[in-house]
Amino acid sequence: MSTENQNIAEKFKNGQSYLAEWNRDAKLRDEFEGDFEAYCHYQAAYSQGLIKGFGQGGR
């Protein structure tokens, strides 16, 4: 686990669960091109209902 990702996780309410998922899912890391902070922002927005999930078209 990278210290940088741990520091990013601490900025988010559910950051530790985001980090656990990030660390176990290589496809997820590929989808976000290795940008853990972008993934955290996505998850936070998704959990608030502000955006749709991947593969849902978003249209």
Per-residue model confidence (pLDDT) at position 53: 65
Distance CA 26, CA 48 (A): 25
pLDDT at 33 over 80: yes
Is residue 2 left, alpha or beta, with left meaning phi > 0 and alpha meaning psi from -120 to 50? beta
The pTM of the full predicted model, rounded to 2 decimals, is: 0.80
Q: What average pLDDT does the chain have?
A: 89
Average pLDDT over residues 3-19: 96
Average pLDDT over residues 12-39: 97
- CB-based contact 23:52 (threshold 8 Å): no
Residues 34-59: tens digit of each pLDDT: 999 999 999 999 998 888 766 544 43
Distance CA 9, CA 24 (A): 15
Tokens linked to 8: 């990013």
Query: Which residues neighbour 42 within 8 Å (Cβ) at sequence distance 6 or greater?
Result: 32, 51
